[in-house]
Structure 1
Amino acid sequence: MDPAILCIGSVLWDVIGRSPSAMGLGSDVPGRISRLPGGVALNIAMTLRRFGLAPALLSAVGRDDEGDALIAEIAGLGLRCDLIYRSDDLPTDRYMAIEGAGGLVAAVADAHSLERADARILAPLKDGRLGAPDAPFDGIAALDGNLTEGLLARIAQGPWLARADLRVAPASPGKVARLQPLLSHPRATFYVNLEEARLLLNAAPGAGPATALAAAAALHGRGAARVLVTDGGRSAALADPQGAFDAAPPAVMVARVTGAGDTFMAAHIAAELRGEQGPAALRSALATAASYVSGEVAS
């Protein structure tokens, strides 16, 4: 039987515009626009599903036409979505991004419904469906920074996930500060990029650790039990009580970037569930992420 895995956070529609052209402020270029199921929690869940795992989603999705269509697509992927909070008065969230020849040009994440739903998305952890205060969920729980800082603080202090193996992603550099309440959690593993790591370390603009390895070691030194830091096509590193090490990702042509970090995180979780450890699990995650950004893995 697969280990119990929850993906808690954003489940929404990704609207992505991609062009092979280099773009700057005010650019107007030909390209392709697609709408796909997305959001950090859903991206992680979809990758876990590709590895044969069966995660459940905790999130907020509206009872509007967009929400019904999104739930239908999620269910078609074989993901458990019956625990998602469906709101009558909140619209389904959306994410919009523009990608060009140099990677991500700009993005806007509209996760206001998830934020307004707040702790209502955690009801299955309290009412016996997944756990209760005296019998908390004890599997893997992937959290993302689209949850509010207040809710993340309550998760850090509350009983609902006190026994869980927490895997934490910031969602974006603009939301990484929300993770501060979880930074000293003894059961949390953080997945951040180099920019996000510097922000968590409160480094001055243009300062901070120069490499993923240095950043991972610094965050571990600040109290993070375990942390993985990526730095695009350059390197990725892991630091925990056993030490710190890094690895280089495979060199590939970049076809897309949205969802790459989520894919890396899910692939690392899947590798560890297969029994891989340390450098082996890190290399497996890097290989999967490289295949994703190259376009070899379907969205």
Structure 2
Amino acid sequence: MSRQADLLCIGGMLWDVIGRCPRAMAAGADMPGRIAHVPGGVALNVALAVARWGMTPAILSAVGRDGEGEALIGTVAAQGVATEYLYRDGGPTDVYMAVEDVNGLIAAIADVHSLEESGDAILQPIRDGRLAAASAPWRGVAVIDGNLTTAQLSRIGQEPGLAEADLRIVPASPGKAERLAPLIGAAHGCFYLNRYEAEVLAHRALGSAMDAAQAMLDLGMHRVIVTDGGRPVADGLAGEGVTSVTPPVVTIARVTGAGDSFLAAHLAAERAGHARDTALERATHAAAAHVSGKDMP
């Protein structure tokens, strides 16, 4: 049964295959640990997280018609994500593979060929009236995933169905941060970056999240949230300056998905009407809980 979506997540929906070792690893090491096979992708991680905060997200992505795709759809639909707007092609379902140790991420490979090759077909539900159209644009939050290609992101920046949306833009990794350039000047855009991603966009070193937030505002962003590991997190808003909070200290149990937990908690706090400082503080505590192995809410 179709549900009325109150938030869109546009981008990656795939399987995460994450290997975790409880000790430090060197290059070429062969160590005991645990391997998880769970739903992933930036857009889907955010969708799952906001569903836990009581929202009804719709995911716009590409998923194969293989057994992996059917299992993935069934799993996330059962967790409150509207999957009826997916683009289904004949290719394999995308996969992200990562290795983490006690200090965090060692290496990762993202195979998102189905998403990249879908072009703008994933945007059809915001064109044909199912979710929005040029004559009735989406006016809520739309989370945009940096796994999308530069061409796809450029199209989103010009999409009539998203002309009035509150865009929340999330890089997939520092290596893909420059893909987001077409959305930097978005009038209703809010970027969620880590300091390294901000440095990629600024083409220079930045000493802190506060410095990075100001640099991004100078670059033309309307709003930006910058994280920096366990160091202070910053919120920069054009015309209102930069504010920051310090996240709690926790023991690292996992890394993948922390940024998505941060974003979901931040969206939930703002949806509840909380001020910038409060929303930022709640988001940092949610990310810290995720990293420590204890999800919120």
Is contact 1:3-1:139 (8 Å) kept?
A: no
Name the residue aligned to 1:104.
Answer: 105
What letter corresponds to residue 231 of structure 2 in structure 1?
R
Determine the C-alpha separation between the residues in 1 that align with 2:207 and 2:55.
Answer: 36
CA–CA distance in structure 2, aligned partners of residues 8 and 259 of structure 1: 16
Deviation sequence 1:176-206 (CA, Å, 0-9, x none): 1110000011110000000000001122xxx
Q: Which residue matches 1:222? A: 219
Counterpart of 2:230 in structure 1: which amino acid?
A: G
Taking a change above 3 Å as real, the CA distance of residues 116 and 94 of structure 1, as seen in their structure-2 partners, is same
- Equivalent residue, structure 2, for 1:132: 133
Q: Does 1:8 align with 2:6?
A: no
Q: For this pair of structures, how many residues does the alignment match?
A: 294
**Which of 32, 50, 53 does residue 52 from structure 2 map onto?**
50
Following TM superposition, by how much is the alpha carbon of 1:2 offset from its aligned partner in structure 2, in angstroms? 8.5
Q: Distance in 2 between matches of 1:168 and 1:157?
A: 15
Q: 1 CA distance for matches of 2:4 and 2:288? A: 26
1:161 has 2:179 as partner: no
Deviations 1:117-155 (A, max 9, x none): 110000000001011112111111000111110111111
Aligned to 2:142, what secondary structure does the other structure show?
Answer: strand
Amino acid at match of 2:257: G
Match of 1:75 in 2: 77
Shift of 1:213: 0.5
* Aligned with residue 28 of structure 1, among 27, 30, 51: 30
Equivalence for 1:263: 261
Secondary structure at the residue paired with 1:160?
helix
Alignment correspondent of 1:147: 148
- Distance in 1, Cα, partners of 2:119 & 2:53: 30
**Offset at residue 157 of structure 1 (A):** 2.0
TM-score scaled by length of structure 2: 0.97
Runs (4+) of structure 1 exceeding 2 A deviation are: none
* Percent identical: 52
Q: 2 CA distance for matches of 1:90 and 1:277? A: 44
Selected match of 1:209 from 203, 206, 209:
206
Q: CA RMSD in A?
A: 1.4
After TM superposition, give the deviation of residue 3 of structure 1 in Å: 7.4
| Unaligned residue ranges in structure 1 (runs of 5+) | none
Q: What CA distance in whole angstroms lies between the structure 1 residues aligned with 2:83 and 2:273?
A: 27
What amino acid does structure 1 have at the position aligned with 2:8? L
Q: 1:3/1:34 Cα in 2 relative to 1: closer, same or farther (>3 Å)?
A: closer
Shift of 1:78: 1.6
Instruction: Name the counterpart of 1:19.
Output: 21
